[in-house]
Chain A
Amino acid sequence: MQELINQYFDVGFMVDHFDQVLEGFWLTVQLSIVAGILSLIWGLILAQLRQLPGKGFLPIRFATIAYIDVFRGIPLLIMILLISGSIPSLEFLPEWLRIPQWFGKPDNFWFGVFAITITYGAYMAEVYRSGIEAVPGGQMEAARSLGMNHRQAMRNVILPQAVRKVFAPLLNDFIALMKDTTLVSAIALSEVALAGRDLQSQFLNSSGLVLGAIMFLVVTLPLARFVDKLIAREQGRFTRGAPRVEAL
């Protein structure tokens, strides 16, 4: 029993190495926020490209669907390895892109951001799409009949309603994204998982990793509760409101 506690829950060990783990977790948080925001934006762009009307935009719609299908199907770890291991060798790229050091962050931080954004952008595009499709067709018709073009109708009428509908699922994706940032440890970014792993192999003690896991829970548990609340509120709103009959 004591051995188990020493291995996983050695409080003295956690206190001694708290700063080191927290430093890693802080990097995790930064990675999550930067990649999270970029994924939200990229996903929204993809979702809109997918909804462009008419025959003329068929190639763009097709390319967008292909992108979404492909990058949802590739493991994030492979994307991380692929990007970090290839971009620095592409001589035709400018130095600032081959070895990005923006905002004082190392290149593996940015390669992680790229990989996560490419993958999670595809996930989030699908979430946005479900929101766009959940807006009744009469909304687009009303907007178009008032003289708005597709773009104006999307921006002023459809997207504000769609984003409200999918706020909770987007937040769920963000929680998943945050956990997946630990995969960037594979390319030696000393975020929280790698910090814990270093301690583990140095001292043969897993308490550092457990401490990292606890830090995750401190953030993800309240977020998950918040998502539940949002979903409950959305459902409450739906049942309270008058039923909307769709025109034939």
Chain B
Amino acid sequence: MEIGSMAPASSAILQLRNIHKRFGQLEVLRGVDLEVKQGEVVCVLGPSGSGKSTLLRCVNLLEPPEQGEIFLEGKDICRGPESGTGEQSWELNFVRQRVGIVFQQFNLFPHKTAMENVTMAPEKVLGKPAAEAQAKAAQLLERVGLADKLNEYPERLSGGQQQRVAIARALAMGPHVMLFDEVTSALDPELVKEVLDVMRELADEGMTMLVVTHELGFAREVGDKVVFMDEGVIVEQGNPADVLDSPRQERTKKFLGLVLER
């Protein structure tokens, strides 16, 4: 495997430098710098349209940035010769074997059971034998509290259950970093906790997590760092208590005020 240029010495597992991304006329990210350390939980807050989700999607190259650098475990994953799609395959493989993502809309495969959703990628991508993939999947689904739903199809599961299957599906690939893109936003209020609980356990076990969320309680309790974004830039970041309780920037204060008013 080729070696990209190395990041300067740093304990960061993930480093973003000056990330820019535009969709047509709209510049969604306007120079974002961010560091995530091994085992750290970083929560990204911000109003809708602030570029939070796009930032996550840049990290696993679903939306490769146009400008800037991303270092994953010291390897530059954004450079390399242009291919047809602007994505370089070795970078993709490198990234997607190390970074898992969970989406707001779950995106489970509706024609597959919970078990098959989890085993598909390990079997097709990693070439694991079916028995091994199934044993691992059963273990993961048990861990997210769905041991009795192995053979259910997604449409028979609640939103919270579907989202937990989606987490198990991402974990099945053995990621080093997990991205969560507003994973509780599409859930009924009473289902939010079961998903956050799973994420909390994952954090306790030392998983490195980048979490876009509107759950301030989760950010405060589980987050090691809180990042506030607005209009495509990071406005403020720091430890959760500082940012949430005594924000220094006006925009942060205004946003937190609006969220807490609810």
Residues on A lying within 8 angstroms of B by beta carbon are 53-57, 136, 138-139, 141-149, 152, 156-157, 160-161, 164, 241-242, 244-248
Contact = CB atoms under 8 A, between A and B. Distances in A.
25 contacts: A54-B83, A55-B84, A136-B105, A138-B103, A141-B62, A141-B107, A142-B103, A142-B107, A142-B166, A143-B121, A144-B62, A145-B62, A145-B101, A146-B169, A147-B93, A147-B96, A147-B97, A147-B121, A147-B125, A148-B124, A152-B124, A157-B120, A161-B110, A242-B155, A248-B53
Contact of A148 (B62, B108, B121): B121
B169 to A, nearest CB: 7
Contacts of B53: 247-248
B96 A55 contact: no
B109 A157 contact: yes
Contact of A164 (B105, B111, B121, B126): B111
Contacts of B108: 142
- Chain A CB within 10 Å — which of B60, B121, B169 has the most? B121
B241 to A, nearest CB: 31
Size band of the B side of the interface? Answer: 20 to 34
Most B CB contacts (10 A, CB to CB) among A56, A136, A147, A161 go to A147
Given A141-B62, A161-B110, A247-B105, A156 B120 contact: yes
A144 to B, nearest CB: 7
Contacts of A53: 84-85
Interface in B162-186: 166, 169-170, 173, 186
Nearest to A160: B111
A150 to B, nearest CB: 9
B100 interface: yes
B191 to A, nearest CB: 12
Interface in B108-162: 108-111, 120-121, 124-126, 155, 159
Contacts of A246: 105
